[in-house]
């Protein structure tokens, strides 16, 4: 908005200055020519009086000037030069041809120093010039205001056009076209508003899409436990044996617990957008953070008979990097990746870090069966489950990677997944497998999935 205010002020002041300057130039150019043409005869007349009075002796000057005044019926006065108080610059002009034109509050007059009697100054009073066009001031004022209005309209046209586009885009979004966006321009006065509007539209589109997916997935996933509950109720009612009734009731309780967990997970994901606006950021030593997280997961890795290791580059250990992160949410993001990796790995999971340029990279690799190529692009979408049966039994609903992607996005980072065979960098897991005592084939060394997180490093933190 500051840019808008500055442009308004500069436009108004600039237009007033340019228009008044132009009008002053026009008026100033016309007035001297007009005055000169109107008073030309009086300049010649005072020159004639100067010649006649200069040919007269000093004693007769006063009497002769009065005779001339009466003869020509004009106001002609003769005064001593010392009685005329003028600046030096104007005093030197008293001897110029045609005299010096001055004006008092009542009328204009000419002053001329007599050529042969420099002690005397001749003063010829002039009549007021009749203004031919009495409406000239009104015309000039009208031109001034019309000029200001035209300039302001020219300035307002791009602004009103941008506002019209903004209104039209908002109407499209309101009509259901959530992909509509405001086209950006470098010359817009409201670029900040337009960027904010587009970000808001993107958030709305994402929220609506998530809600649609949430409703569709929840309606789909809730049918199975509902069917199980209905079957359990009917079976329990028909069963005569108390042990069978208890068995059916136990199965119903399990399905209810699963429904409760599913509903809680869905509602938590639906409310995550609000959490992104209240992050509790703090400077965190990434090396210490990942070391602690890896240590916390050692027990889970041991349960799955998986070796979990953390590797950091020598430069990274020598010069630790502190990033402004939310500890709770970042811990949960890496936790989801490690949980999946340990669950699907055969024997090894490696979390590694390295720095490239102004970005910090965190990789999580496993030697499991990898990710189907057709699912790589959609793996971070909510409610996507690659192993449906296994996820359902463990109470997973395809939200872990979606939550991780959302958290990384909150921290202005990116995350993507690849199969280890498609990775272009030196895999830390390959080195770990080669150093292991067991003999593994090349196929095993190249199997598994790799998740790569990229976080920006601020200059003061690097």
3-class DSSP state for residue 117?
Answer: coil
**Under a CB-based contact definition with an 8 Å cutoff, are residues 340 and 390 in contact?**
no
Neighbours of 397 (CB within 10 A): 23
Backbone φ, ψ for residue 153 (5° rounding): -65, -40
**pLDDT (0 to 100) of residue 362:** 92
- Compute the half-sphere exposure of residue 8: CA atoms within 13 Å on the CB side of its CA: 9
Backbone φ, ψ for residue 461 (5° rounding): -95, -15
**Under a CB-based contact definition with an 8 Å cutoff, are residues 368 and 346 in contact?**
yes
For the chain, the straight-line distance linking the first and the last C-alpha, in angstroms and rounded, comes to 34
For the chain, give the number of residues.
462
**pLDDT (0 to 100) of residue 350:** 92
Measured between alpha carbons, how far is 152 from 423 in angstroms, rounded to an integer? 59
Domain ranges of the chain: 2-125, 136-202, 279-456
Measured between alpha carbons, how far is 19 from 23 in angstroms, rounded to an integer? 6
**pLDDT (0 to 100) of residue 3:** 65
Q: Are strands 307-312 and 348-356 parallel, antiparallel or unpaired?
A: parallel
Report residue 416 as tokens.
């993507």
**Under a CB-based contact definition with an 8 Å cutoff, are residues 233 and 245 in contact?**
no
pTM: 0.55
Among 447, 432, 440, smallest CA distance to 371 is for: 447
**pLDDT (0 to 100) of residue 57:** 85
Report residue 357 as tokens.
């340029």
**Under a CB-based contact definition with an 8 Å cutoff, are residues 221 and 262 in contact?**
yes
Domain 279-456, what fold?
Heat Shock Protein 90 (3.30.565)
Residue numbers in the chain where pLDDT is lower than 50 = 131, 392-394, 433-434, 436-445, 460-462
Among 120, 127, 126, 128, smallest CA distance to 65 is for: 120
Report residue 436 as tokens.
């292991």
Buried b / exposed e over 77-95, threshold 16 CB at 10 Å, is: ebeebeeeeeeeeebebbe
Give residue-wise pLDDT tens across range 84-137: 888 888 888 888 888 888 887 777 888 888 888 888 888 888 876 554 555 676
State the CATH architecture for 2-125. 2-Layer Sandwich (3.30)
Measured between alpha carbons, how far is 269 from 211 in angstroms, rounded to an integer? 10
If residue 255 lies in a helix (H) or strand (E), which one and from where to where? helix 242-270
**pLDDT (0 to 100) of residue 461:** 42
**pLDDT (0 to 100) of residue 126:** 84
Alpha helices, H only, 276-367: 286-296, 298-303, 314-318, 327-344
């Amino acid at each position: 908005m500051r840019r808008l205010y500055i442009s308004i002020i500069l436009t108004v002041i600039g237009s007033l200055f340019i228009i008044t300057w132009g009008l002053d130039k026009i008026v100033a150019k016309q007035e001297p020519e007009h005055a000169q043409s109107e008073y030309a005869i009086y300049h010649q007349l005072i020159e004639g009086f100067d010649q006649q009075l200069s040919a007269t002796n000093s004693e007769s000057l006063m009497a002769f000037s009065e005779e001339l005044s009466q003869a020509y019926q004009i106001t002609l006065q003769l005064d001593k030069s010392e009685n005329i108080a003028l600046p030096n610059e104007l005093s030197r002009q008293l001897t110029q041809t045609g005299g010096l034109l001055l004006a008092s509050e009542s009328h204009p007059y000419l002053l001329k120093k007599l050529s042969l009697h420099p002690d005397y100054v001749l003063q010829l009073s002039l009549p007021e010039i009749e203004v031919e066009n009495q409406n000239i001031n009104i015309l000039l004022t009208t031109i001034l205001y019309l000029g200001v209005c035209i300039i302001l309209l020219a300035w307002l046209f791009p602004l009103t056009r941008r506002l019209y586009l903004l209104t039209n885009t908002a109407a499209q979004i309101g009509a259901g076209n959530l992909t509509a966006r405001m086209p950006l321009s470098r010359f817009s006065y409201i670029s900040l508003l337009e960027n904010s509007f587009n970000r808001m539209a993107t958030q709305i589109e994402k929220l609506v899409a998530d809600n649609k997916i949430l409703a569709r997935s929840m309606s789909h996933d809730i049918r199975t436990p509902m069917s199980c509950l209905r079957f359990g109720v009917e079976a329990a009612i028909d069963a005569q044996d108390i042990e069978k009734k208890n068995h059916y009731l136990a199965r119903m309780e399990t399905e209810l617990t699963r429904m409760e967990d599913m509903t809680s997970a869905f509602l938590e994901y639906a409310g995550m957008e609000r959490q992104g606006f209240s992050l509790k950021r703090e400077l965190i030593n990434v090396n210490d953070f990942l070391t602690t997280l890896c240590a916390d997961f050692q027990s889970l890795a041991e349960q799955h008979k998986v070796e979990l290791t953390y590797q950091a580059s020598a430069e990274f250990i020598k010069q630790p990097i502190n990033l402004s992160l939310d500890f709770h949410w970042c811990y949960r993001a890496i936790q989801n990746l490690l949980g999946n990796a340990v669950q699907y790995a055969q024997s090894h999971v490696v979390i590694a870090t390295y720095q490239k340029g102004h970005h910090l990279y965190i990789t999580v690799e496993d030697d499991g069966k990898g990710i189907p190529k057709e699912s790589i692009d959609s793996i971070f979408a909510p409610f996507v489950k690659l192993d449906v049966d296994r996820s359902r039994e463990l109470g997973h609903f395809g939200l872990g990677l979606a939550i991780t992607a959302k958290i990384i996005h909150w921290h202005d980072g990116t995350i993507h997944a690849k199969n280890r065979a498609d990775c272009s960098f030196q895999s830390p897991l390959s080195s770990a497998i080669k150093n292991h005592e067991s003999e593994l084939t090349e196929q095993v060394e190249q199997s598994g999935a790799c998740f790569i997180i990229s976080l920006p490093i601020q200059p003061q933190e690097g």
